[in-house]
Amino acid sequence: MAASEITGLTELEAAPADDDELVIVDVSDTTQSANGSTKRLAASRVARTGAANTFTTAQVFGSGATGGQVAIKAGDASTVGLVVDTAASPSANALEIRNNGASGLAITADGTVSIGSHGGYAATDATTVTTTATQIAAPGSRMSLIMVYGKSGAIYFCDLILNMTFAGNAPTVIDSKTFGAAPTRTYSENNGAVKLALSSGSYDVQTMRIARLGDPV
């Protein structure tokens, strides 16, 4: 076609396809001129709006200057603003928010939330508990407040317990609510893990825990 300015070309009013091509000046290649060389670039090599972008290296968004801000907004109220997904359960945290490199907020792949380096929140999937003492909360915290919820058919119980992981400190039941003929519950602590045994029956038990990590400072 006849020579024309880019501003005179027809606009592509859609996200470019992977095999679309862009014009770029490679300033590191001075073959054509001291200012660089004009080359074509596949659209798949640049981040684009309206398309899924895969980054293989760490990306820094926003400016490093004071007042720089990174904002993530959904297109409408029914759309999730931020999704963090992994191909497999990572051994490291799935999401971390840091304060100048220091521990801030961390979420593991199983949903455990850590706040700073001293506290956190965790919830567990249902565990079957019978008359045998069964672990319902894993070790890892010095002090924790745990809500224990159990269900078997139309019988329910909910206990709020306080636990301190030092030898001889059995978990203390602060309050309890039941519906139906709920069994007696016996809580124990073993090397930081909280266990539960029932006087009878088999129940699906779930927990929600707010914990203090490490010793008080």
Residue 147: pLDDT over 80: yes
Residues 191-210, mean pLDDT to the nearest whole number: 92
Q: Which of 169, 158, 176 is nearest to 194 (CA)?
A: 169
pTM across the whole model: 0.59
Q: What are 77-106's pLDDT values in tens digits?
A: 776 666 766 666 666 666 777 777 777 777
Question: Domains (ranges, CATH) in the chain?
Answer: 14-53 (no CATH), 91-118 (no CATH), 124-211 (2.60.40.1680)
**pLDDT tier for residue 217 given thresholds of 50, 70 and 90:** very low
Strand extents, DSSP E, the chain: 21-26, 37-42, 95-99, 102-107, 113-115, 119-123, 127-129, 134-137, 143-152, 155-164, 172-179, 185-190, 193-198, 203-212
The proportion of the chain whose per-residue pLDDT surpasses 70, expressed as a percent, equals: 73
Q: Which of 116, 125, 126 is nearest to 151 (CA)?
A: 126
Q: What are 35-55's pLDDT values in tens digits?
A: 999 999 988 888 777 667 777
Residues 6+ apart with CB under 8 A from 174: 160, 161, 162
- Which of 21-25, 73-77, 124-128, 200-204 bottoms out in mean pLDDT, i.e. has the lowest? 73-77
The proportion of the chain whose per-residue pLDDT surpasses 90, expressed as a percent, equals: 33
101: left (phi over 0), alpha (psi -120 to 50) or beta: left
